[in-house]
Chain A
């Protein structure tokens, strides 16, 4: 690969230079370079980064399915940028009233906003526009779910511990930005459902004591409904938030790169090494393939499953509301908190604490603060301040697992409560009864789940961890893809790590 000379031979066919010797020995002509080799040289002569790029290509990535969740989230973001850019070319961010004259007959002649009109145009007139819109919306919905799953993985395996507290905060920021993107994007089509959602956010904003009415007025440009808020949300949705997003993703991924990925415990894995596959080409190909597979799943869902059919909701009118009104799933818990919070609105010294303030502002604030500060809370609970690159199995810290399960349960119960009217119809219960049930569940269920999780973890601790069963048979490379989580691959025999670091075969 180094020699650029043509191989030469003398009249007897004996090689006369290094290249000739190599050609004779290996049958490979070293002066013939592939395109990639030529490109590498071209690039290095202009940047001097050969060493840097090589070490990057040779970086080792631990191979476990749960480490792909973050990648899928990143791929969702790329799909959102791509489809969103397409939508931007057609969307009109304006609340100005126009008369709908498109091809959807039931609404012809109806006064709608220019924003609604443009989304109708995207859905009915622009070819492949509906596909792009639905892929965008579905990807957004799945994006948040993948982020939450990724966050839960990092939580339960203790990936946030020293030295990764900073990356936990960055990841938490990404979750917040994703929620903000979802909420601003959801409001843009200016249909009946999104308008109602924006109305509720406005009400939550004005509920903040002392500053609420000012904040709400600054954000919405006056008293709701304003014609300003669509163009404002648009700028937030397509410019400010994506900009912050890209910078934060770069920092998040950059830190993983600098700190090297965590790994599950296994026969080879130690605190001072990384066991896995080279980034290039294996891991890079796997990731590229995963990107296209993610995009394929989004395409088929976006093509076949209708989402946010704004023509059947109709344009936003402040005096009309549809029932049942369901938001996108990731704000369901906020709506659920508003629904089941008891009627409570004290006025002390003339100052009113609006009923929306505690469930709509304080509760989410408290829950999110707990999640954001978890690396430091965890330190208090476990007393562990050490540096960790090997992950915990989820049951190894029963208190952490119990707390995490309890927090997830709170969100889950609130999300279900956000659909209490639908569930009431489904279960043939009165909404009033169901609301009381949810009020009890949101207190009791997290406690029950926490205790159960704790007990299950303690029980699991009595059995050996997967890495102690030595699932990896290093002689065949057979289980390189799986990490240790799946137990022994070969029935009958497993390797057990002994106290002195060696291995012994045991009957599994």
Chain B
């Protein structure tokens, strides 16, 4: 590899006199000034490095640490860049670029080397067998991969809610109808499953006269109390906002809006399914569930209307309270 000066370009006039940096000819004055700046920059690095150590020993302070570390690194960076740009040769170099390919002859030799072993190339049957063997190995290697998670089984189709379960609040205390004023909302769980992600339900006192439900929905909404899955049917966020005046539930993640008064049908946003309604009934001054949600809660999946395909019973029953990671 050699440097080739382009013959069409005249030799730099100043070349013999003094070297040229990327920013111009390196004069005495320039040299001295450049050296001073570089040294000063390195000095900043030394000083701030020391100050950083002292600051650390004194107990540290995030903002000051950031500034000192930036000055420490920046001094080094500025110094090195000025050194390169002011004091080093910036002469334009020209390097020839050869074609990348090795040429036909070389490639042909490589191809020969690849295929000249007849013990390999002529054994077609063995080649096919090898491919089959690799396939077999791949399926064997799938075993550890399949161990990474249980088959979904029924788990997506059911939640911990069961008939007769008491409706409790986030503290695990039984919910009393009197606790929820008109237009009030409470996040509730089945007793023993507080904080459970799939079972989380909104109990809304929408008012019996405002609810306009189908008969099959109305029978499970006693005294104007309607219980809806809190898991958005779009992407699974908790549907956290209730606009009581319009009777709308809004998901804060993607703004899917559900009309509570008409059975939580989606009226705006990307969600396409209503929030499933939990069948409940009054039990004294509280509530109990009459069963699980009639359809899967949360985001849709391809076989949700086909029913679970259970290949070998997975761990479908959720463990009691605490399965939800950091359940509160």
B240 contact set on A, CB distance < 8 A: 320-321, 323
Of B9, B195, B299, B301, the residue contacting A474 (CB under 8 A) is B9
Q: Would you give the 0/1 interface string for A380-413, flagging 1 where the beta carbon is closer than 8 Å to chain B?
A: 0000000101000000000000000000000000
Q: Would you give the 0/1 interface string for A170-212, flagging 1 where the beta carbon is closer than 8 Å to chain B?
A: 0000000000000000000010000010011011101111101
Bound: A389/B62 CA distance, A:
47
Of A222, A291, A325, A340, the residue contacting B150 (CB under 8 A) is A222
Bound: A215/B319 CA distance, A:
22
Q: Would you give the 0/1 interface string for B278-319, flagging 1 where the beta carbon is closer than 8 Å to chain A?
A: 000000000000000000001111111110000000010000
A318 x B100 contact (CB < 8 A): no
A319 x B230 contact (CB < 8 A): yes
A322 interface hit (Cβ, 8 Å): yes
B272 x A355 contact (CB < 8 A): yes
Of A302, A320, A340, A477, the residue contacting B90 (CB under 8 A) is A477
B306 contact set on A, CB distance < 8 A: 350-351
Bound: A246/B235 CA distance, A:
34
Tell me the B210-254 residues at the A interface (CB within 8 Å): 230, 234-238, 240-241, 252-254
A282 x B326 contact (CB < 8 A): no
**What is the chain A residue whose CB lies nearest that of B230?**
A319
B62 contact set on A, CB distance < 8 A: 128, 130-131, 134, 303
Of A206, A220, A320, A476, the residue contacting B301 (CB under 8 A) is A206
B70 x A355 contact (CB < 8 A): no
A212 x B13 contact (CB < 8 A): no
**What is the chain B residue whose CB lies nearest that of A319?**
B200
Tell me the A321-350 residues at the B interface (CB within 8 Å): 321-325, 335, 338-345, 347, 350
**What is the chain A residue whose CB lies nearest that of B328?**
A317
A285 x B88 contact (CB < 8 A): yes
Stretch at the interface among A35-43, A84-92, A266-274: A266-274
A318 x B83 contact (CB < 8 A): no
A224 interface hit (Cβ, 8 Å): yes
B96 interface hit (Cβ, 8 Å): yes
Tell me the B51-85 residues at the A interface (CB within 8 Å): 56, 59-60, 62-67, 69-74, 76-85
A24 interface hit (Cβ, 8 Å): no
Q: Would you give the 0/1 interface string for A468-506, flagging 1 where the beta carbon is closer than 8 Å to chain B?
A: 000010111110110000000000000000000111000
B235 x A204 contact (CB < 8 A): yes
B241 x A323 contact (CB < 8 A): yes
Of A131, A285, A304, A323, the residue contacting B80 (CB under 8 A) is A285
B129 interface hit (Cβ, 8 Å): no
A354 interface hit (Cβ, 8 Å): yes
Instruction: Tell me whether chain B's interface is mostly helix, strand or loop, or mixed.
Output: loop
**What is the chain B residue whose CB lies nearest that of A275?**
B94
Bound: A212/B301 CA distance, A:
7
Q: A293-B78, A318-B200, A319-B197 are in contact. Are A352 and B303 (CB under 8 A)?
A: yes
**What is the chain B residue whose CB lies nearest that of A340?**
B270
Report B197 CB to chain A, min CB distance, Å: 3
A225 interface hit (Cβ, 8 Å): yes
Centre residue among B14, B25, B62, B72 by max chain A CB count within 10 A: B62
Q: Would you give the 0/1 interface string for A356-388, flagging 1 where the beta carbon is closer than 8 Å to chain B?
A: 100110000000000000000000000000010
Tell me the B13-54 residues at the A interface (CB within 8 Å): 13-14, 20-25
B198 interface hit (Cβ, 8 Å): yes
B151 x A217 contact (CB < 8 A): yes
B241 x A355 contact (CB < 8 A): no
B6 interface hit (Cβ, 8 Å): yes
B324 contact set on A, CB distance < 8 A: 225, 318
A431 x B70 contact (CB < 8 A): no
A260 contact set on B, CB distance < 8 A: 95, 97
A325 contact set on B, CB distance < 8 A: 237, 252-253
B9 x A476 contact (CB < 8 A): no
B195 x A213 contact (CB < 8 A): no
Bound: A296/B273 CA distance, A:
51
B165 interface hit (Cβ, 8 Å): no
B156 x A275 contact (CB < 8 A): no
Report A192 CB to chain B, min CB distance, Å: 10
Tell me the A244-284 residues at the B interface (CB within 8 Å): 258-260, 267-268, 271-278, 281-283
Bound: A190/B326 CA distance, A:
9
Stretch at the interface among B103-111, B141-149, B174-182: B141-149
Q: A323-B240, A435-B269 are in contact. Are A292 and B77 (CB under 8 A)?
A: yes
Of A97, A163, A224, A502, the residue contacting B327 (CB under 8 A) is A97
B73 x A292 contact (CB < 8 A): yes
Of B70, B82, B254, B301, the residue contacting A297 (CB under 8 A) is B70
Bound: A373/B24 CA distance, A:
43
A63 x B238 contact (CB < 8 A): no
Bound: A226/B20 CA distance, A:
64
B70 contact set on A, CB distance < 8 A: 296-297, 299-300, 303
**What is the chain A residue whose CB lies nearest that of B13?**
A475
Bound: A421/B240 CA distance, A:
14
Bound: A300/B170 CA distance, A:
42
A273 x B3 contact (CB < 8 A): no
Stretch at the interface among A15-23, A26-34, A108-116: A108-116
Bound: A291/B73 CA distance, A:
9
A–B complex contacts, Cβ < 8 Å, 29 sampled: A95-B325, A112-B326, A127-B56, A130-B62, A131-B62, A131-B69, A199-B235, A212-B302, A213-B156, A223-B198, A277-B92, A278-B89, A282-B84, A282-B88, A299-B66, A303-B63, A316-B325, A318-B200, A318-B327, A319-B238, A322-B252, A323-B252, A324-B252, A352-B300, A352-B303, A356-B235, A475-B13, A476-B24, A477-B24
Beyond A223-B155, A355-B272, list 19 extra A-B contacts (CB 8 Å): A60-B93, A60-B95, A97-B322, A111-B328, A113-B325, A113-B326, A218-B146, A271-B97, A286-B80, A317-B326, A353-B302, A354-B300, A356-B234, A421-B255, A432-B255, A432-B257, A476-B13, A476-B20, A480-B91
Q: Which are the 7 A-B pairs with shortest beta-carbon distances?
A: A303-B66, A292-B77, A289-B81, A323-B252, A345-B272, A289-B80, A318-B197
